[in-house]
Structure 1
Amino acid sequence: MSAAEVVRATGGCLCGAVRLVAPQVSLHVDACHCAMCRRWSGGPLMAVDCGTALEIEGVEHVTVYDSSDWAQRGFCARCGTHLFFRMREGGGHFVPVGALDEPEGLRFTTPIFIDSKPGYYRFADETRTMTGAEVMAAFAGTPPNP
């Protein structure tokens, strides 16, 4: 990756027990549609390539699962946040973009395993959108303001 294609980013888990520092995060966000990533993430896994230099603070709270012969998945043992997908050979880390503290300059570029994507969603679909306030109002049983 060239210097123009990477940024430094931080992130972590929901409970704060694990923090991530990634000195070289690719600006390209990929979405993996394979069955394993969908099962792990509850939908397509949107992740960024963080290379091999990912620093993990609170590593004692990280559990690693050998998900295949070629990769491992790490998550926080306290809150369950998905932290990384790591290649066994080479040690490259792919971090779910939602685990990062919103670095600037990221852009969605590549859906992968597109042949495994189920038919019930497409990123280009016209869908209803809701703000955070509208969602909270819906769950509280109060209709959102138009």
Structure 2
Amino acid sequence: MIAKGKCLCGSVELEVELASPEAEIAACHCSMCRNWLGGPMLAIDSGILKAVNGESSITRYQSSEWAERGFCNKCGTSLFYYLKPADQYHFPVGLLDGGLQIKFSHQIFIDEKPEYYSFSNETHNMTGAEVFAHFESEQ
């Protein structure tokens, strides 16, 4: 399934291939995501970046040795989180056009989630240590 999205100012347009028509999203509660977005990142679990219009308006910030965060350098819209070892993109769910069937499936860095908010959905929850162990086992 192909989903499209664009930044607030329209300088960047993305075309993303999703693995299935029902997209799974995750909430990341890590301190970096909360600092970057002002709250948890709600992201399409992964997708393939098929096409980009406006590449010169994208800034990639290397937030760790294993990841980059992309944003529009004109309006500041968060565009993606790129996990380098897995060559995997994660897209903020609000960036992509409507019409997607979405399942909120899991939360990561649950041990860093502040007490002032809580989701009522039943999800699979992982601590930061469990997330890193999972990615190490996939390599």
Q: Determine if the TM-score, normalized by the shorter chain, exceeds 0.5.
A: yes
The aligned length equals 119
Of 63, 87, 90 in structure 1, the residue corresponding to residue 59 of structure 2 is: 63
CA distance in 1, matches of 2:29, 2:69: 16
SS class of match (2:35): helix
What are the Cα deviations for residues 40-85 of structure 1, in whole angstroms up to 9, with x where unaligned?
Answer: 1110100013434442211000001000010000000000000000
Of 89, 96, 99 in structure 2, the residue corresponding to residue 100 of structure 1 is: 96
Detail structure 1 runs of 4+ shifted over 6 Å in the superposition: none
CA distance in 2, matches of 1:54, 1:115: 34
Correspondence for 1:20: 14
Correspondence for 1:113: 109
How do residues 33-72 of structure 1 correspond to structure 2 at under 5 angstroms?
A: 33-72=29-68
Task: Give the drift of 1:117.
Answer: 0.3
Structure whose CA Rg is larger: 1
SS class of match (1:107): strand
Pairing 1:89–2:85 present: yes
Gaps of 5+ in 2: 121-139
| CA separation of 1:25 and 1:97: change in aligned 2, threshold 3 A | farther
Task: Give the drift of 1:32.
Answer: 0.3
CA distance in 1, matches of 2:117, 2:26: 16
